[in-house]
Amino acid sequence: MPAKRNLSGLIEVDDHEYHWTIEREPQWCTADGWRGMVVSLRQADAPREALLEFPMPSARRSALQPQLRRPQVNGVIIENGVRAALAAGWEPTSRGKPAVFEVDANGN
């Protein structure tokens, strides 16, 4: 039986709890091509959300390069994404539209 994939969770970074959820799986869009996975972050009891966009790798494939796969999500990637969003100016306690950040497969 294949392993079940986590689509949401809770992580603690610097004494603050953050809820994360996969908002969008990688998908093909006829206008834009491949669109990567999006993960939503929200600090517990804070109004502003951050969206982490994981771009798909380049579409050039060869016999040596595996097929396109969705990025794996684990605690380290989410933690790195939280830290990168905070460093880029995300203020979870402020009000406003969700802040959108493009991150690499490692969450940086």
pLDDT number for residue 48: 93
Arithmetic mean of pLDDT over the chain = 82
pLDDT at 107: 63
Domain ranges of the chain: 9-56+71-102
Q: Report the amino acid identity of residue 86.
A: L
Beta strands in 1-102 (DSSP E): 8-13, 16-24, 27-29, 33-35, 37-43, 49-54, 99-102
CA distance 2 to 98: 34
Q: What's the pTM value of the predicted model, to 2 decimals?
A: 0.78
Mean pLDDT for the stretch of residues 80-90: 92
Q: What is the pLDDT of residues 2-47, one digit of tens each?
A: 555 668 899 999 999 999 999 988 887 788 777 888 999 999 889 9
